[in-house]
C-alpha cells in the first residue's frame, strides 16, 4: 500500500542543469497535480493532469515541463534550473476532479 511516492526526497543541483522530479501513485487516480511551496506564498499549482496524455498549466508553469504517458506516473522536469526554483515540491492525486487530494511526502530542491 505505497500510495503516492516522490523521488528524490532531496536534491541539490546547479543553475542551468536539467532536473526531473518523479511522482508515482498506486491508486489509479485520474487526476495528478504538482505544487511548489515557498515561505510567504503557500502552495501554488504548477501543472495538473486530468488523465494520461492530458495536462494543463496551473498558476506558475514557467520553467517547468510535465508529461503523463501512464496514469500512475507524473514527472516534473525543470529544463534549466534557476535559483528561484529552489522550493519544496509536492505531488498530489485525486480520484476525480474536485475530490480530496492525496499528497506525497515532497521533494526539497535546492538550486545553487
Q: From the list 25, 78, 106, 109, which residue makes contact with other proteins (rule: CB under 8 A)? A: 106
The closest of 54, 18, 55 to 45, measured between CA atoms, is 55
Whole-angstrom Cα distance, residue 64 to residue 33?
13
Specify the residue for cell string 480530496. 100
Check residue 97 for interaction with other proteins (CB under 8 A): yes
Q: How far is the CB of 56 from other proteins (least distance, A)?
A: 8
φ/ψ (deg, to 5) at 91: -100, 150
Binding mask 6-45 for other proteins (x = CB under 8 A): -------------------------x-x-x----xxxxxx
Q: Does 62 bind other proteins (CB under 8 A)?
A: no
Amino acid at each position: 500500500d505505497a500510495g503516492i511516492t516522490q523521488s528524490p526526497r532531496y536534491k541539490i543541483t546547479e543553475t542551468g542543469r536539467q532536473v526531473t522530479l518523479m511522482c508515482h501513485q498506486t491508486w489509479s487516480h485520474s487526476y495528478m497535480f504538482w505544487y511548489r511551496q515557498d515561505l510567504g506564498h503557500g502552495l501554488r499549482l504548477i501543472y495538473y493532469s486530468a488523465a494520461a496524455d492530458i495536462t494543463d498549466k496551473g498558476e506558475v508553469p514557467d520553467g517547468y515541463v510535465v508529461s503523463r504517458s501512464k496514469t500512475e506516473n507524473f514527472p516534473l522536469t525543470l529544463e534549466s534550473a534557476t535559483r528561484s526554483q529552489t522550493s519544496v515540491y509536492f505531488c498530489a492525486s485525486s480520484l476525480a476532479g474536485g475530490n480530496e487530494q492525496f499528497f506525497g511526502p515532497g521533494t526539497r530542491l535546492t538550486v545553487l
